[in-house]
Amino acid sequence: MSVASACAWAADAFFDDVPIVLTASRMAQSPVDAPVAVTLIDREMIEASGFTEIHELMRLVPGFLVADWPDGSPMVANHGMSDAYDRRIKIMIDGRTVNSPAWGNTNWHDLPLRVDDVERIEVVRGPNGAAYGVNAFDGVINIITRSPATESGVAVISRIGDDGFHDHGFRINGDADAAIDWRLSGSHRRAVNFRPYRNEDGALEARKIVERSVLNFGATAQLSTQDELQWMLGLSRGSTDRGAPGSLEHPLREDDIHAHYVHLGWKRSFAVDSELSVQFHHQRERARVPWQVTVPGLGLLSVGMDSDAQREELEVQYGARLSPAWRFMLGAGVRREAARSRSMFDTGSTISGVSSQLFGSVVWSPVEHLRVDLGGTLEDHHYSGSLFSPRLALGYALTPDSALRFSAGVSYRTPSLIESHAMQVIRVGSEIKRIGAWAGADTQPERVRHAELGYAAMFRELGLGVDVRAFYQEYDDYVDDERCWYPLQPWERPPRESAWACPPPPVDFAPIEWDWQASRGPSSFVFRNVGSFRVTGGEFSIDWRRPGWGRVVLSQAIIDVDVQGASVDEDFETSAPSSITSLLLIKELPGRWRASLGYYRHSSMNWLNDGDRVPEQDRVDLKLSRRFGGANSGSEVALVAQSVGGRYVDFHAGRYRREPQLFGSLRLTW
């Protein structure tokens, strides 16, 4: 069963005694039977958390970190080891990839859907290249939307808070007995994530005010008893007011953002566990960035930071059960990725590439209780060539609802279009005055060899779910942007013996005189393979619920990063916190009241590159809500306080302070 085509069916199955996951191996299965560790964030957790942005929900996943900064998109990391561009986790919506084709990261603010559109989120907490190929490198996040077939009626929601925060939305569903199940949803949101913050040197740091409007349409038509057609359309438009007065690095500006997608799918069901599906996805992102900086000696310069990126992908998948002991899945896909940015590529032309992949898995039960899962993806990548990502998983059922799991495999991450083609320049006339990011020559794909030992169980009589795992991940050919130096004068050597000399610049490179006069001279950042490291650790999560009392979801991760004699960033060994804790407490109260508390903690760490040290810190969120209306009504009034302790350090202790948020919400359904 394909990831997208199974959404409507699984929306009901998820609430049965045995939940179903779709993302671990592209086949519907219990989390106990999955070949890799999977976390489910269900609708109850989404509502109780009080989060209004999808990326914030990743705080509920063992070992995951969330951060934001004023000059870019938020980032999500698994076990740290990340910078301002979270390009090592594959993000999907209903099975379609939404990572940006340019950087490979996810523009979380620009996703054309809102928290209210999400039914649940499935998170694979480790490499999963065997199922999804390159770039499913440190994990997979599959955001599964609420199916039109499982909803009815109309809903409106309004959230209003301090500092001009508002988030208004609606949902309209077609008639339950209509030939086509459809849903139309929309929202408009404004939030101040960062106010100008005066650092220890007295300088103002950048602000960030995000404003977005989102419109979504989804429909499903049952063409026959065997055939189903699905189509989804989404649009996100808005602006981000960001920057700091007088800053060269973060000038004041208002970025204009547009993103949209089209998703078409058809499936034919032949029998139980036997299905053919075809999917086509189109995604486009557009940013118009009025970047103007004042450069000593040159005055005010307009830098063309506008960008366009898009992806088209076609995928075919077939799965069937051959016998009680054998089950298989086989599929193929082709995708085209393209990006255009005059400043990032020093050209007005479009940079593009076409890749294809063949993927599959076989599950075999040779004896009772034992399950063997073999999977792999063979990919022909437009830049990195042929790559094969295999996985072997063994599962041993201790009881019908508990099992031990061992899995091992190899996964890859290929350089993004920017990492493989960038030549980021500032031009004045025919001369290049500054070179920023620069693609290195023949950058190799990153590789991770991974293994994990896990235990998953559901104790139904106790209302308890348990997930424990130990993991080992060995990374090679890590890609980073390393600073390089040009000579102080054309005839001189780099200023320090340890400095890395930049590659020979273009003939029209004439650096700004102010750069030459600086003590270290002009410099650039070159993407290149910088080394190897090893990550080991363990995680556990406990999910306990009792009807009438409430629910407790607790997770803990322990992480150790060991750099193995390579030239990676000197902060690399501290780029993951040694400990990450997450707690969501949901308490049912009399009179249809409900209280929830979210507690999120990590020990001190260093975000890489644009980030820096973040001390040990805690965040506490509170929500108090009351349902009203009929017994099955979704109407609710609530008060939410996020980060009740006030401003907190985010991404860089010396520069960025994230704002707390207090707001009330009203949801009406009929």
Percent of the chain at pLDDT > 70 equals 93
> Would you state the structure tokens that stand for residue 206, as one six-digit string?
């950048």
> Would you state the structure tokens that stand for residue 600, as one six-digit string?
């999120």
Quote the distance between the C-alpha of residue 463 and its chain's center: 30
Work out the pLDDT band at 9, boundaries 50, 70, 90.
Answer: very low
* DSSP designation for 660: P
pLDDT digits (tens, 9 = 90+) for 167-191: 999 999 998 788 899 999 999 999 9
Is residue 659 within 8 A of residue 194, CB to CB? The reply is yes
pLDDT of 298 over the 80 cut: no
Cβ-count burial of 164 within 10 angstroms (0-12 exposed, 13-18 middle, 19+ buried)?
exposed
Residue 58: what residue type?
M
Mean pLDDT calculated for residue range 198-227: 92
State the pLDDT at residue 4. Answer: 45
Mean pLDDT calculated for residue range 422-437: 88
Q: Residue ranges of the domains in the chain?
A: 7-669
Is residue 611 within 8 A of residue 601, CB to CB? The reply is no
Distance CA 660, CA 192 (A): 9
pLDDT digits (tens, 9 = 90+) for 361-402: 999 999 999 999 999 999 999 999 999 999 999 999 999 999
Q: In the beta sheet, which residues pair with residue 447? A: 412, 476
> Would you state the structure tokens that stand for residue 414, as one six-digit string?
């290929």
Q: What is the mean pLDDT of the chain?
A: 91
How many helices (H) and strands (E) would you count in the chain?
6, 37
pLDDT digits (tens, 9 = 90+) for 65-93: 999 999 999 999 999 989 998 899 999 99
Cα angle, residue 229 at apex, residues 129 and 122 outer, rounded to 5°: 35
- CA dihedral angle for residue 263, residue 50, residue 55, residue 411, rounded to 10 degrees: -90
Q: Cα dist. 130→101, 199, 227, 412, 450 in Å?
A: 21, 46, 29, 10, 11
The 10 Å Cβ neighbour count of residue 76 is 28
Distance CA 536, CA 559 (A): 6
Work out the pLDDT band at 7, boundaries 50, 70, 90.
Answer: very low
Question: CA-based diameter of the chain, in Å?
Answer: 81
Cβ-count burial of 628 within 10 angstroms (0-12 exposed, 13-18 middle, 19+ buried)?
exposed
What DSSP letter does each residue of 247-307 carry, written as one string?
-SSS--EEEEEEEEEEEEEEEEEEETTEEEEEEEEEEEEEEE-EEEEEETTTEEEEEE--E
Distance CA 524, CA 501 (A): 10
What are the residues whose beta carbons fall under 8 Å from the beta carbon of 309, sequence distance 6 or more? 100, 101, 102, 284, 285, 337, 338, 339, 340, 417
> Would you state the structure tokens that stand for residue 532, as one six-digit string?
């190897």
pLDDT of 10 over the 50 cut: no
What are the residues whose beta carbons fall under 8 Å from the beta carbon of 219, sequence distance 6 or more? 148, 174, 180, 181, 182, 183, 230, 231, 232
SS3 content of the chain, % helix, strand, coil (to 5): 10, 55, 35
Quote the distance between the C-alpha of residue 515 and its chain's center: 37
State the pLDDT at residue 17. Answer: 56
Work out the pLDDT band at 129, boundaries 50, 70, 90.
Answer: very high
Q: Cα dist. 222→32, 262, 280 in Å?
A: 31, 20, 18
The 10 Å Cβ neighbour count of residue 2 is 25
Work out the pLDDT band at 16, boundaries 50, 70, 90.
Answer: very low
The more confident residue out of 653 and 197 is: 653
Q: In the beta sheet, which residues pair with residue 601? A: 581, 618
Work out the pLDDT band at 228, boundaries 50, 70, 90.
Answer: very high
**Sign of the C-alpha dihedral, residues 364, 366, 372, 374?**
negative
pLDDT digits (tens, 9 = 90+) for 517-559: 556 678 899 999 988 999 999 999 999 999 999 999 999 999 9
Mean pLDDT calculated for residue range 103-118: 94
pLDDT of 411 over the 80 cut: yes
What are the residues whose beta carbons fall under 8 Å from the beta carbon of 202, sequence distance 6 or more? none
CATH class of 7-669: mainly beta
What are the residues whose beta carbons fall under 8 Å from the beta carbon of 517, sequence distance 6 or more? none
Work out the pLDDT band at 564, boundaries 50, 70, 90.
Answer: confident
pLDDT digits (tens, 9 = 90+) for 454-509: 999 999 999 999 999 999 999 999 999 888 888 766 656 655 655 678 888 888 98
- CA dihedral angle for residue 236, residue 239, residue 244, residue 249, rounded to 10 degrees: 60
Q: In the beta sheet, which residues pair with residue 500? A: none
